[in-house]
Amino acid sequence: MNAKQHQNGFTLIELIVVMTLISIMLFFAMPRFRKTVVSDGGKKAARQIMMQVPLLKDKAVREQKCFKLHIDLESNRVWATDESMSEDALSQAEESAFEAAPGIRFTDVEYPQTGKISGGIAVISFYKKGYSDKAIIHIDDEDSEIRRSLLIEPFFSSVKLHETYEDF
């Protein structure tokens, strides 16, 4: 072999060093990635409500019915009903409710005039004219100790998410 001839490729030592560095970086990065991306049930619960509120406002106007969003603060479940549902349909809606992930808790629902409801079932109404009750839903993530507040405004269709505990 000629001394000026170069061999392409990497040596075994170089490959081992690179693999070791990548392993060390993943060792420190994976717990943070798993905590923020994989196991964030609080964001999932918030997204569920943030999607349901505009749909209920729209349906109330379109179908000319009053709709209600029920939040069971004891069992951490959310479901929607309308004024024309039979008793059978009401119980079926409650049975098929969205249930928050373990460690996620709906702590209370706050209204500007009547104050906080911390137990039982809180109800937010959506009216035929396109507005709703003003309310703040508080969600606690016990695993990551994050508290979120969802502000439902009467005349806006979107829900405002606060990454802290907010009240009126």
Assess if residue 21 is contained within a domain: no
Strand 135-141: give its sheet, edge to edge: 115-117, 104-111, 135-141, 146-152, 159-162
Assess if residue 139 is contained within a domain: yes
Tell me how many domains the chain contains: 1
Q: Is the four-CA dihedral 76, 82, 87, 88 of positive or negative sign?
A: negative
Q: What is the pLDDT of residue 168?
A: 86
CATH label of the domain that carries residue 81 = 3.55.40.10
Which segments of the chain have a pLDDT < 70?
Answer: 1-7, 32-41
| Tokens representing residue 160 in the block | 């405002």
pTM assigned to the model: 0.75
| Residue numbers of the domain that contains 88 | 41-162
Assess if residue 9 is contained within a domain: no
- Beta pairing partners, 98: 78
Assess if residue 2 is contained within a domain: no
Q: What is the pLDDT of residue 60?
A: 95
d(CA 126, CA 56): 7
Q: What is the pLDDT of residue 44?
A: 85
Assess if residue 56 is contained within a domain: yes
Kindly state the greatest CA–CA separation across the chain.
91
d(CA 108, CA 113): 15
Assess if residue 26 is contained within a domain: no
The secondary structure element, H or E, covering residue 19 is helix 12-33
Assess if residue 13 is contained within a domain: no
> Which is it for strands 104-111 and 159-162: parallel, antiparallel or unpaired?
unpaired
Assess if residue 52 is contained within a domain: yes
Query: Per residue in 58-79, pLDDT tens?
Result: 999 999 999 999 999 999 999 9
Which residues does 72 contact at the CB level (< 8 Å), separation at least 6?
A: 78, 97, 106, 120, 121
| Tokens representing residue 111 in the block | 């209204």
